[in-house]
Amino acid sequence: MTDGYHNLKMVMQTVSLCDEITIECVRGEGVYVKDSGRPYLPSDERNIAMKAVKVFFAHTEITGHRANIWIKKRIPVGAGLGGGSADGACVLRMMDKMFSAKLERGTLIELGKAIGSDVPFCIFGGTKLAEGRGEVLTDLTPIAHCHIVICKPHFSFSTPELFKQIKCSNIRARPDTDGIITSLNNSDLEGIARRMYNVFEDVLPRGKRVIEDIKDKMLDNGALGSVMTGSGPTVIGVFDDSSRALKAHRDLKTEYHECFVTETVSTLK
């Protein structure tokens, strides 16, 4: 794309792992953001929750209110899971409800784009095809309910740096996105899992062996498929059996602190 972004085409899915956000609006001006237990997260303009409030107030022209936001993080940071985008989307939806703005879907998408490329998806959630920078969304048949094990290694990657390593003409393997969509329509969970792939795994600056080891442990414990998610380094495993998912979680938790058992979520309330 001429704006410096890559043109994406990917299937995105909401899972049950989430942060807890509390917002208080009082008379005054400005935005205050505090993250409990994660003091290294930015509390200034770099914080996506703060961006969401400012974008909302600017669009609605609401003045005279100060927003106090407390975030209890559960989603790993720097994990390729869209945790910051999910927080921004949540704040935008909550502000819309608190002030009875009743913003339309298209408006929410445009405001989400101004906050971050993944925010429009996180506003609506479910199972969607995301294209463009990630903001062009198409509803897909919801995935059959399944269990997702999430495991983040003890390091992170820089998303911009990984994108710099991607040369589209050199990509030899891609996810079978069309096949995944067909499998969704057929409620074929195994078909979805077989077709997952992440092109970023081919250009990792380090840690590839760790990611392969996590994937192997997922598969050894009965995962239908396993793949690095987003820009990594987190690895997910798709399970159709809760006992296998719990066994994989137990095995991985002995080595990796940030390891979770979740499930797919078809809609957001």
Q: Pairing state of beta strands 136-139 and 235-239? A: unpaired
Q: Domain for residue 138, yes or no?
A: no
Count of domains for the chain? 2
Q: Looking at the structure, tell me whether residues 257 and 154 fall in a common domain.
A: yes
Whether 25 and 114 map to the same domain: the answer is yes
Residue entry with tokens 């961006």: 51
Cβ–Cβ < 8 Å for 81, 61: no
168 token code pair:
């589209």
Q: What amino acid occupies position 248?
A: A
Q: Which two tokens stand for residue 198?
A: 């992440």
Helices marked H in the chain: 48-60, 83-98, 105-115, 119-124, 159-165, 177-185, 189-194, 208-220, 242-253
* Ordered mean pLDDT values, 10 residues apiece, the chain (269 residues): 63 96 94 73 76 96 95 92 95 97 95 94 96 91 97 88 73 86 97 94 87 97 96 95 98 97 87
The answer on 254 and 161 residing in a single domain is yes
The amino acid at residue 131 is E
DSSP one-letter string for 200-242: GGGG-SS-HHHHHHHHHHHHHTT-SEEEE-TTSS-EEEEES-H
Residue 3 lies in a domain: no
142: which DSSP letter? P
Strands 65-72 and 31-36: parallel
Both 20 and 93 in one domain: the answer is yes
Tens-digit pLDDT profile for residues 151-194: 999 998 887 788 787 766 666 778 899 999 999 999 999 999 99
Q: Are 73 and 19 in contact (CB under 8 A)?
A: yes
* Residue 4 pLDDT: 46
With contact defined as beta carbons under 8 Å apart, do 147 and 103 qualify?
A: no
**CATH code where residue 47 lies:** 3.30.230.10
Is 141 part of any domain?
A: no
Q: Which of 69, 104, 132 is the last residue of a domain?
A: 132
Query: Which one-letter DSSP state was computed for residue 86?
Result: H
Q: Which residues have a Cβ under 8 Å from the Cβ of 155 and sit 6 or more positions away? A: 206, 207, 210, 233
User: Do 126 and 152 share a domain, yes or no?
Assistant: no
Determine, yes or no, domain membership for 74. Answer: yes
Domain of 155: which CATH number?
A: 3.30.70.890
Q: Identify which of 267, 262, 8, 229 has the alpha carbon closest to the alpha carbon of residue 125.
A: 267
Angle at 52 between CA 51 and CA 54, to 5 degrees: 65
Note the pLDDT of residue 43. 62
The separation between CA 67 and the C-alpha centre of its own chain, rounded to angstroms, equals 24
Closest CA to 176 of 25, 10, 7: 10
**Residue 68, pLDDT score:** 94
Predicted pLDDT of residue 116:
92
- The residue range of the domain holding 222 is 147-265
Same domain, 106 and 154: no
185 & 123 share domain: no
Burial string for 25-42 (b: 16+ CB within 10 Å, else e) reads beeeeebebebeeeeebe
